[in-house]
Amino acid sequence: MKNLILFIFFNFFFINLHALELKGKFYQGNLIIGNTEPGSQIYVDKKKIKISNDGFFVFGLSKDRKNDIIIEVVKGKSSEKIIKKIKKKNYKIQRINNLPKKQVTQPKEFYERIKNDNKLIGEARSVNSDLSFFSNKFQVPLKNSIITGVYGSQRILNGIPKSPHYGLDFAANEGTKVNAMLDGVVTLSEKNLYYTGGTIIFDHGHGISTLYMHMKNVNVKKGQSIKQGEVIGTVGKTGRATGPHLDVRLNWFDLKLDPASVLNLN
């Protein structure tokens, strides 16, 4: 009997010793980092995802996700399944009416350019490298700035719902230095995209990318490795921006996540 109890205890303890550790809050739009025994296989919603040599993996929760998420770790013959509920985030909705038509829809002559920009951005966001910088702590990209726009907010202009705002806006003076939030490799560096103006995208591994937009100066080149805190450019109002500010984005492949979730701002 005593042996049996010990046996059960040992197994319970053993399983939990190698259990996965999940960092991040299970809110809509958040990034979750996991760590488990190296060599395991990880499935999120039954889809296999990458795991680093030291056991790190990462995934994101979509902005409007309502379903529970299933995380499964398989090691040899043992497997462990964790089901997490997703908490709702309240997004701001702003209605503005009686705007002149050209402020609501983009003129046709820019369609080609916008399409091309989107292709470049899409390619950068689909990179699935083995880098594991995503498991490190992010830092805010600007000193002395105020947040003027948050993730998920949406404008309804003349009754037409525009796409939600997926970024985090920092208002700052034009020319303020912008620092990299995390180590990464530059996968896009463009001076003048239609919507986003001066734009930089970094790959941080496993499909995690960050994007910086509306920049006045872009000081990095595609393929360059950048350390956290390095100056990558300056704040501007390039592209479709109403005033100088930095808008940063966080993505897990094509899923747009809340940058505040990695900057400890929510």
Q: Which residues bind Zn ion (CB under 5 A)?
A: 149, 167, 169, 247
Q: Is 75 or 237 the residue whose CB approaches Zn ion more closely?
A: 237
**DSSP per residue, 213-247:** EEEEEE---TT-EE-TT-EEEEEB-TTT-SSSEEE
What is the closest distance, in whole angstroms, from the C-beta atom of residue 38 to Zn ion in the complex? 38
Q: Which is nearer to Zn ion, 86 or 260 (CB)?
A: 260
What is the nearest approach in angstroms of Zn ion to the Cβ of residue 166? 8
Check if the beta carbon of residue 199 is closer than 8 Å to that of residue 186: no
Instruction: Say how many residues make up the chain.
Output: 266
**Nearer to Zn ion by C-beta: 74 or 147?**
147
Q: Are 218 and 167 in contact (CB under 8 A)?
A: no
Q: Note whether 63 and 86 are within 8 A (CB).
A: no
In the complex with Zn ion, the residue whose CB is nearer, 6 or 146, is 146
Minimum Å gap between C-beta 80 and Zn ion is 40
Strand order across the beta sheet in which 31-35 lies: 21-23, 31-35, 56-60
Which of 38, 42, 40, 37 lies closest to 75, judged by CA?
40
Nearest to residue 59, comparing CAs of 252, 263, 264? 252
Helix/strand/coil for 256: strand
Nearer to Zn ion (CB atom), residue 60 or residue 167: 167
What's phi and psi for 92, nearest 5 deg? -75, 135
- By C-beta, is 206 or 245 nearer to Zn ion? 245
CB of 207 to Zn ion, least distance (A): 22
86, 73, 91: which is closest to 30 by C-alpha? 86
Smallest distance from the beta carbon of 253 to Zn ion, in angstroms?
21
Q: Which residue lies nearer to Zn ion by CB, 169 or 183? A: 169
CB of 246 to Zn ion, least distance (A): 9
Give the CA count within 13 Å in the CB-facing half-sphere of 131. Answer: 21
Angle 224-228-233 (CA atoms, 0-180°, nearest 5)? 65
Task: Compute the least distance from the CB of residue 169 to Zn ion, in Å.
Answer: 4
